[in-house]
Amino acid sequence: MKVVKRRQPADFIRDPLSSDRIERIWQGLDTREYGLAKWRRSKQLAVALAVTACAAALVLFLFRKPPAPPAGAVAQRAGSVLEAPKLGEQLLLPDGSEVRLANAARARVLELSAREVRLRLERGWLTCDVEPRAERRFVVEVRDIEVSVKGTEFTVSLEANGSAVTVSVARGLVEVRDRTRLIASLEAGQRWSSAHPAEEPVAPARDGGNLELEPKPRAPVASAAAPSKPAESGPHELFERGAEARLQGRARDAANAFDLMRRRYPQDPRSGYAAFQLGRIRLDTLGDPRGAAEAFQFALARPGPGFFLEDAQARLVEAWARAKDARSCRQARAGYLAKYPGGAHSSRVVRQCDDL
């Protein structure tokens, strides 16, 4: 018979943990808990920093200032600010035109479209070299003056104190107008200023400004014994004579010069504009609406550079209305609205002729 040894309860009890071992266990638990808490705090800090950075970027995007393109860059959208860091550096526009700004000059792009490019000169001066395109206008605003072209090179400047605007033309033709009317049409070598030159005072100009050629050497004064030569009367001289007389308020002399120029040189590209100026003088000053209508019709038939055509068509309607010719007035009105349905004068033209 096999005898089984019986084990005592004490055989199944281990020695109790020592105090040193218990202390080490607690220290390990504390270390792991501290590391977990530290990791949680780091994660929360990272999330807070990311949210702050996103908020700052959003604020900068919403309130950012349109950047000034560097020299040679292209201003791609309206609202761009044009500033040249160095004198003479060129800025390009999407239509291929070049703009050169003086040092510290500043301009803003108001519109960039297939039909119109419009800049506003805010200080200093700029020179524009405009690609010829019949379908779009290129306009520079400065104060209450607009300078518009279709293809030319010209300079617009604003005095430091804002007292005077000057336009100089190097090539092509340029129109200068205020908010409501055409002031001058300039050719290469001509300059217009809103202030009269101090060294050569002239009578106040009715149309606001002084049209003059660039300074030329003065011809010597002929002696009393020398026979005087007859004044030249080519198309350029007659046109300039009319422009000078008109700006000095001599309406009848201006009308005679413009009328002679357009009749004697009907094929000259400026004959249509001379007739347009003649029509304005006859209608606004001389009280001859039928004569004005004839001049406006002549101008529309010989558009030349064509800057004045919409104005001429609108003034033709006004001339027939003043002449009390209802049939001609309605025909001219229909012609304007067909060509310029959303034109600058459409709201006024549409009301003409109704009371005749």
Q: What is the pLDDT of residues 132-149, one digit of tens each?
A: 777 788 999 998 889 988
Question: Comparing 22 with 163, which gets the higher pLDDT?
Answer: 163
How far CA 26 is from CA of 17, 21, 78, in Å, comes to 13, 9, 70
The closest of 255, 184, 62, 198 to 263, measured between CA atoms, is: 255
How confident is residue 116, by pLDDT bands cut at 50, 70 and 90?
Answer: confident
Buried b (16+ CB within 10 A) or exposed e, 218-238: eeeeeeeeeeeeeeeeebeeb
Classified as helix, coil or strand, 61 is: helix
Domain ranges of the chain: 81-213, 235-349
CATH 1.10.1270.20 matches 81-213: no
Task: Specify the CATH architecture of the domain 235-349.
Answer: Alpha Horseshoe (1.25)
Helix (H) or strand (E) holding 121: strand 116-129
- DSSP-derived secondary structure for 75-104: --STTPEE--SSTT-EEE-TTS-EEEE-TT
* 30 pLDDT above the threshold of 60: no
Structure pTM?
0.46
pLDDT digit string, tens, across residues 283-312: 999 999 999 999 999 999 998 767 688 889
Which residues, at least 6 apart from 139, have a Cβ–Cβ distance to it below 8 Å?
A: 116, 117, 118, 119, 146, 147, 148
Q: 198: exposed, middle or buried (C-beta count within 10 Å: 0-12, 13-18, 19+)?
A: exposed
Query: Sign of the CA dihedral 302, 299, 135, 92?
Result: positive
Q: How high does pLDDT run on average in the chain?
A: 75
Judge whether 281 and 273 are in contact, CB under 8 Å. Answer: no
